[in-house]
Structure 1
Amino acid sequence: MSSPVVKAELLKGKKGLIVGIANDRSIAWGCARAFRAFGAELAVTYLNDKAKPYVEPLAHEVGASILMPVDLAIPGQIEAVFDRIERTWGELDFVVHSIAFSPKDTLGGRVVDVPRDGFLTTMDISCWSFIHMARLAEPLMKNGGTLFTMTYYGSQMVVENYNIMGVAKAALESAVRYLAAELGPKGIRVHAISPGAVATRAASGIPEFDELLEKTIRKSPARELVSIDDVGVATAFLAHDAARLMTGQVLYVDGGYHIID
């Protein structure tokens, strides 16, 4: 059973950027719904003109005051978003980075066979982009803030068919720790959220993903899959001042899957 997003003005006055909504099944959309339900004001991005018709109605649903394209392969687009945020709000309280990508031929093969260009693309989009967004967000987080990215259990354990993305997520989790250490003195917290298997469009590219979903239900103590709303609420909590002394975490929202051998 999916948990409801309860409306409560816990984050009223907070302003944040959500990057990575593709459609209403995206984890980033679950985060946007939760942050908005808790009273935050949002900026939302979409990948390109093809994706815009799917994302624009969702942005309107959460009352996003900024809606802009971000294709990380196009130089200057992410910088333009942060420039717009500075002109419109003058400050920023949180960023949700929910982006990962690996070319199909790179993701589908063995790690030992990964081509250099495929490796670099995977690391650029899945890891370096978060570091870059942290750098852009830092001067706008004048009163502190929180940076979030999405990871997965395959960063720590070998998950069949996750392949090179597991390597990228391991690098991403390490980046979270270093960013937390570097930005902590400014009151900026940094977290990786590690959802259990969720049936998103991005996950559909992983071979035999349906079998992974079945295994998750069978193995996890909760005996059910997490929803995008479960992930969103947990993420939004960490942006609240009640979590001000939590940073550098990898927070598992997976029904306990990661504790079972």
Structure 2
Amino acid sequence: MDFLQLQNKNIVLFGLANRKSLACAIAGVLVENGARVIHVVRSEERARTARRLFPDCPVFCCDVEEEANIIRVRDEIAAMVDGPLAGIVHSIAFANYSEGLKPFHETLKRDFLQAMDISCFSLISIANHFRELLDRDGSVVTISISTTRMAAENYGYMAPVKAALESSLCFLAKSFSAFSRVRFNAVCPSLLKTSASAGIPGYIDSYLFAEKVIPRKQALKTSEAANVAAFLLSPRSSGINGQCLVVDAGMGMNYFDREIVSKTVG
């Protein structure tokens, strides 16, 4: 049974970096379910990686920091694709700690605004410029984090940026409702073992802590977050719009685990 009903559906996926990235895992699930995946990556180096990992998928380059690039890649995809886009995946995040990790109140304006531009505004811009290519019942999925209210010092200013990204979903869903039924949702995973996370100071310790807090004592798998993304892209999730689906294997409900508390205060 084709539960996800993604067979022969065109889906554009922004953000593959390498085989460990969440975008790669999402692409894998989509391809397994018969979707036609179109990759959009930041550089020619990443394009070579995408072509090696997914030799049957078209690959385009686009640095979303320049809006003209989004318009260009839109036109390139429009000229190539057969039929409407059933979905778009926005798996893009960037933080430039140009002077190293600082206390949040010392965040540099230029770094913060660049992160907001690339990690948040790019979703709005992509949605705007690709709107005429999207199927009337299409789905747009972005990637956030399990909570933007946790003041993790080593995550710097990215949590407020992700909070803006999440807030944008309902506004995009509302404005698109004037002419379509396109849905906008986010997958919000807990700590993953990805290439992007490797650059976060102290991430390994946080990851190991997450394994202790999660009731099953095993961190979230990238494939588990990818499966949720595929579901949100599918017609099976037609009743979900403007939502942030937390995928954390129960981590958020178990911070006061007895074993962890006893080791901390014992």
- TM-score, normalised to structure 1, is 0.90
- Distance apart, 1:249 and its partner CA: 1.1
Q: 1:213 to 1:137 in 2, by over 3 A?
A: same
In structure 2, how many angstroms separate the alpha carbons of the residues matched to 1:217 and 1:177? Answer: 32
Aligned amino acid, residue 135 of structure 2: K
Q: Is residue 106–residue 114 contact of structure 1 (8 Å, CA) maintained in 2?
A: no
In structure 2, how many angstroms separate the alpha carbons of the residues matched to 1:148 and 1:107? Answer: 31
Task: Single out whichever of 69-78 and 188-197 deviates more from structure 2.
Answer: 69-78
Between the aligned residues of both structures, percent identity stands at 27
- Distance apart, 1:7 and its partner CA: 8.5
Equivalent residues, number:
253
- 1:3 is matched with which residue? none
- 1:208 is matched with which residue? 202
- 1:149 is matched with which residue? 142
- Distance apart, 1:181 and its partner CA: 2.1
In structure 1, how many angstroms separate the alpha carbons of the residues matched to 2:11 and 2:99? Answer: 33
Matched, 1:73 2:68: no
Q: 1:197 to 1:7 in 2, by over 3 A?
A: farther
Matched, 1:45 2:37: no
- 2:217 is matched with which residue? 223
Q: 2:85 pairs with 72, 92, 97, which one?
A: 92
1:47-83 C-alpha deviation (Å, 9 max, x unpaired): 21333332221131xx21x211122234522222211
- 1:11 is matched with which residue? 6
Aligned amino acid, residue 27 of structure 2: A
- 1:246 is matched with which residue? 240
Q: 1:80 to 1:59 in 2, by over 3 A?
A: farther
Q: Is residue 223–residue 255 contact of structure 1 (8 Å, CA) maintained in 2?
A: no
Task: Single out whichever of 30-39 and 102-111 deviates more from structure 2.
Answer: 102-111
1:77-119 C-alpha deviation (Å, 9 max, x unpaired): 2222211222222421111111101112367212211111111
Aligned amino acid, residue 77 of structure 2: I
In structure 1, how many angstroms separate the alpha carbons of the residues matched to 2:215 and 2:127? Answer: 35
Unpaired segments ≥5 residues, structure 1? 1-5
Task: Single out whichever of 12-21 and 155-164 deviates more from structure 2.
Answer: 155-164
- 2:252 is matched with which residue? 258
Counterpart secondary structure, 1:51? helix
Task: Single out whichever of 69-78 and 93-102 deviates more from structure 2.
Answer: 69-78
- 1:55 is matched with which residue? 50
- 1:161 is matched with which residue? 154
- Distance apart, 1:177 and its partner CA: 1.7
Q: Is residue 26–residue 226 contact of structure 2 (8 Å, CA) maintained in 1?
A: yes
Q: 1:162 to 1:36 in 2, by over 3 A?
A: same
Counterpart secondary structure, 2:44? coil
Unpaired segments ≥5 residues, structure 2? 256-266
1:234-255 C-alpha deviation (Å, 9 max, x unpaired): 1111122221111111111211
Bigger Cα Rg: 2
Task: Single out whichever of 226-235 and 14-23 deviates more from structure 2.
Answer: 226-235
Counterpart secondary structure, 2:140? strand
Matched, 1:196 2:190: yes
- 1:115 is matched with which residue? 108
Q: Is residue 25–residue 201 contact of structure 1 (8 Å, CA) maintained in 2?
A: yes
Task: Single out whichever of 232-241 and 44-53 deviates more from structure 2.
Answer: 44-53
In structure 1, how many angstroms separate the alpha carbons of the residues matched to 2:159 and 2:196? Answer: 14
* RMSD over equivalenced CA pairs, Å: 2.0
Q: Is residue 187–residue 247 contact of structure 2 (8 Å, CA) maintained in 1?
A: yes
Q: 1:217 to 1:162 in 2, by over 3 A?
A: same
**Runs ≥4 residues deviating over 3 A:** 6-9
In structure 1, how many angstroms separate the alpha carbons of the residues matched to 2:143 and 2:52? Answer: 23
- Distance apart, 1:175 and its partner CA: 0.5
- 1:23 is matched with which residue? 18
- TM-score, normalised to structure 2, is 0.89
